[in-house]
């Protein structure tokens, strides 16, 4: 594999997870990415990894309340679907999808600190709103936070940067990291529209430790465009990232800040996503793993993921 390639996990079981009729978090969000990834593989840009499902959800037990994990494991084929909140439905296909994602977490948690690996995870349901006690906002479990906890368990000196560029604040990831990880070992950076769902991320909880660790919430107004985002990236995110110099970077890759997205009301284009991919590649010192979060215009999602990967793979 050339150094500039990424590996892809594609969650076929995620295609069966059903959020409900006319729900924006649809299986088509995942299926529209398959031709994008296949085309990149054909051109030698990336490669697919085998995604082997786990028999259970034990990968999530260190990062979520066991009652919630027990409940999700009870979604056997004869169980009815259940609404976790007004827009988050789970059922037996959700359990299959989550066991598949647990397989990705198992493999990613075993990558040694300092080994350069680049992995894009095209999976659903998304995860960044799921908090310690349960699911919310289209998310049943928090994959990125689960991986962060597993990696710190495997290597107690691990340092992790989380970058969340979804248009919504990564409240669930914030909750789990601040609750469970030693504070000197992570830097959580989230750019998001504010005020907006889920209501958190104002910047009041920002803090900076002596090594650059801590929390950097960057609330943005509706209508934020590429030029605005470039300023935020250059002046706020990169100096803090470079100061912390993390071994591992985990990304909540949400593309609902795109100008064509029906939910976000922002004005970003593929240009921003490509640039984020580039800065990720420029700062690589170990594992970089990206998890698909939001993005609800199918053409914009497909084009944005392609642009992001082009930047990341230094095309
Ligand atoms: Zn979102």
Q: What is the mean pLDDT of residues 18-46?
A: 96
pLDDT tens-digit map of 175-196:
999 999 999 999 999 999 999 9
Q: Does any domain span residue 77?
A: yes
Domains: count for the chain: 1
Determine the pLDDT at residue 4: 72
Q: Does any domain span residue 69?
A: yes
Whether 64 sits among the annotated catalytic residues: the reply is no
Contact between 129 and 137 (Cβ < 8 Å): yes
Residue 78 CA, ligand 1 centroid: distance in Å = 31
Place of tokens 């969650």: 11
pLDDT tens-digit map of 199-251:
999 999 999 999 999 999 999 999 999 999 999 999 999 999 999 999 999 99
Asked if pLDDT for residue 1 goes beyond 60, the answer is no
For residue 255, which of 195, 182, 306 has the smallest C-alpha distance? Answer: 306
Residue 141 CA, ligand 1 centroid: distance in Å = 15
pLDDT tens-digit map of 107-157:
999 999 999 999 999 999 999 999 999 999 999 999 999 999 999 999 999
Q: Does any domain span residue 290?
A: yes
pLDDT tens-digit map of 262-289:
999 999 999 999 999 999 999 999 999 9
Residue 3 CA, ligand 1 centroid: distance in Å = 30
- Give the active site residue among 64, 129, 131, 258: 129
Residue 61 belongs to domain spanning: 6-312
Q: Is the peptide bond before 195 cis (omega within 30 degrees of 0)?
A: yes
Asked if pLDDT for residue 3 goes beyond 80, the answer is no
Q: Does any domain span residue 31?
A: yes
Contact between 247 and 285 (Cβ < 8 Å): yes
Place of tokens 């997205």: 261
Q: Does any domain span residue 298?
A: yes
Residue 127 CA, ligand 1 centroid: distance in Å = 10
What is the spatial distance between Cα 22 and Cα 165, in angstroms, rounded to a whole number?
25
Q: Does any domain span residue 1?
A: no
CATH at residue 262: 3.40.800.20
């Amino acid at each position: 594999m050339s150094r500039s390639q990424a590996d892809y996990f594609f969650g076929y079981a995620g295609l069966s997870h059903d959020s409900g009729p006319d729900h924006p978090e649809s299986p088509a969000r995942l299926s529209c990415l398959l031709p994008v990834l296949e085309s990149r593989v054909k051109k030698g840009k990336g490669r697919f990894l085998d995604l082997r499902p786990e028999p259970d959800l034990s990968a999530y037990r260190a990062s979520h309340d066991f009652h919630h994990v027990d409940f999700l494991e009870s979604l056997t084929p004869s169980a009815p679907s259940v609404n976790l909140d007004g827009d988050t439905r789970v059922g037996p296909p959700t359990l299959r999808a989550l066991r598949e994602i647990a397989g990705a977490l198992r493999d990613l948690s075993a990558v040694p600190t300092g080994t350069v690996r680049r992995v894009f995870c095209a999976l659903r349901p998304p995860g960044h709103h799921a908090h310690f006690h349960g699911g919310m906002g289209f998310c049943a479990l928090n994959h990125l936070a689960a991986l962060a906890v597993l990696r710190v368990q495997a290597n107690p000196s691990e340092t992790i940067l989380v970058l969340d560029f979804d248009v919504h604040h990564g409240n669930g990831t914030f909750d789990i990291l601040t609750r469970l990880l030693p504070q000197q070992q992570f830097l959580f950076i989230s750019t998001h529209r504010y005020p907006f769902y889920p209501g958190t991320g104002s910047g009041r909880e920002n803090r900076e430790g002596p090594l650059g660790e801590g929390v950097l919430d960057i609330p943005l107004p509706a209508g934020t465009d590429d030029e605005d985002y470039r300023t935020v990236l250059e002046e706020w995110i990169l100096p803090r990232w470079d100061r912390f110099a993390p071994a591992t970077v985990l990304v909540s890759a949400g593309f609902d800040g795109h100008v064509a997205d029906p939910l976000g009301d922002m004005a970003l284009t593929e240009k921003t996503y490509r640039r984020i991919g580039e800065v990720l590649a420029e700062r690589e010192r170990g594992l970089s793993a990206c998890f698909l979060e939001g993005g609800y215009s199918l053409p914009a999602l497909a084009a944005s993921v392609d642009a992001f990967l082009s930047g990341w793979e230094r095309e």
